[in-house]
Amino acid sequence: MTFANQTIDEFLGNVASDNITPSGGAVAAISGAAGAALCEMVCIHTLRQTADPDVEQELTTIRAESSAYRQRLVELADEDSAAVNELQSAFNSPHIEHHDEEMQKAMKRATNAPLKTAEACLEVIELAITASELCNQNAIADVGTGASLAYGSLRASVLTVQFNLQMIDDETYVDEVSVRTDHLKDSAERKVAAVAESVNS
């Protein structure tokens, strides 16, 4: 069963259990999906009230892209849990050492999933900037909440990535991913600040 088919209570109950998954990476992805859903919702409500064709066209695009990222982030929650389960199986195998190729591949898969989550969350924050500039002012706090959720999910995902990198031997991979995470953090900080400025203006 994918997380999309679980109730909220089922998902949170599985998080708050002795199960290996869903863990931090999946929770971050679902939180990012909630942020995307809020951006999507605000577009829907604003579209019902706007008479400006240019605003309508732009919000329709943001709505569609937010919907796509919402679904993508739920998929990434599944991907993250699958990667973590695979990594745990490698850890539990008496025949696999930390430096073995199979273990290293599993570590990279468990790193790539939250990295992709962080990148998707950055896109959600980017969408929230424009949404905050065009949306109905009665819903602007929801855009800010959506951006904040996506930002928190991005930072949480980067935290997971950075932790995993400590156990990866491939220095080229580690350096490349470190550059990407630094860019994600810096860019996200600027973009979420832009949303906050729009919300508070």
Contacts 24+ apart (CB under 8 A), 2-10: 2/74, 2/75, 2/78, 3/30, 3/74, 3/77, 3/78, 3/81, 4/74, 4/78
pLDDT at position 1: 66
Per-residue pLDDT tens digits for 106-135: 999 999 999 999 999 999 999 999 999 998
Residue 42 belongs to a domain: yes
Question: Which residues constitute the domain of residue 109?
Answer: 7-200
Residue 121's SS3 state is: helix
Residue 117 belongs to a domain: yes
pLDDT at position 62: 97
Residue 110 belongs to a domain: yes
User: If you search the block for the tokens 């064709």, which residue do you land on?
Assistant: 53
Burial class (CB in 10 A: 0-12, 13-18, 19+), 43: buried
CATH for 29:
1.20.120.680
Residue 2 belongs to a domain: no
Residue 85 belongs to a domain: yes
Counting the structural domains of the chain, the total is 1
Per-residue pLDDT tens digits for 130-173: 999 998 888 899 999 999 999 999 999 999 999 999 999 999 99
Amino acid symbol at 100: D
Per-residue pLDDT tens digits for 89-111: 988 887 777 778 889 999 999 99
Residue 115 belongs to a domain: yes
Q: Which of 10-14, 34-38, 98-102, 190-194 has the lowest mean pLDDT?
A: 98-102
Residue 112 belongs to a domain: yes
Residue 1 belongs to a domain: no
Answer whether 69's CB lies under 8 Å from 123's CB.
Answer: yes
pLDDT at position 26: 98
Per-residue pLDDT tens digits for 33-87: 999 999 999 999 999 888 788 889 999 999 999 999 999 999 999 999 999 999 9
